[in-house]
Amino acid sequence: MARLDWMTFLAHHPKAHLLAAPVPDPSPSVLKRLRRLMQALIDGEAPVGDYATAIVRDRDVTEIQCGFADRADADRVAKQLGARSVAASGDWLSERTLRLDEQAELALERKAARPRSGLHQPAVS
């Protein structure tokens, strides 16, 4: 479907599915880069429902949060990243978490760089 901005997503999907990724090095350039990589990976999975990403700072924890309207989209991306399920808070129907350390960042780069599923490469003559 569509990538929405975070506030629009939350307004349209008040009960959705969350993938939260705490970032140990929350410098602005690292956060922006990781968010772009997450968006590229999600776009490559061709989500059927709306989704959004945001950089969320709460006390001394900084996360990249990905919200999904469709649980299957959330499950597929979580599996790609090796995220684990955690107990859902009252704000979300389901939650998964992944620590975006250096190893996870390298895996994210590789996965985000893959060609999109379902798209055909043009024939070369």
pLDDT digits (tens, 9 = 90+) for 43-89: 988 999 999 999 999 888 999 999 999 999 999 999 988 899 999 98
The SS3 call for residue 111 is: helix
Q: Is residue 45 part of a domain?
A: yes
pTM for the full model?
A: 0.85
Condensed to tens digits (0 to 9), the pLDDT of residues 10-49 reads 999 999 999 999 998 888 998 999 999 999 999 988 999 9
Number of domains the chain contains: 1
Round to whole Å and give the CA distance between 16 and 91. Answer: 8
Q: Is residue 37 part of a domain?
A: yes
Q: Which two tokens stand for residue 19?
A: 């993938």
Q: Is residue 125 part of a domain?
A: no
Length of the chain, in residues: 125
Burial 104-114 (b: 16+ CB within 10 A, else e): beebbeebbee
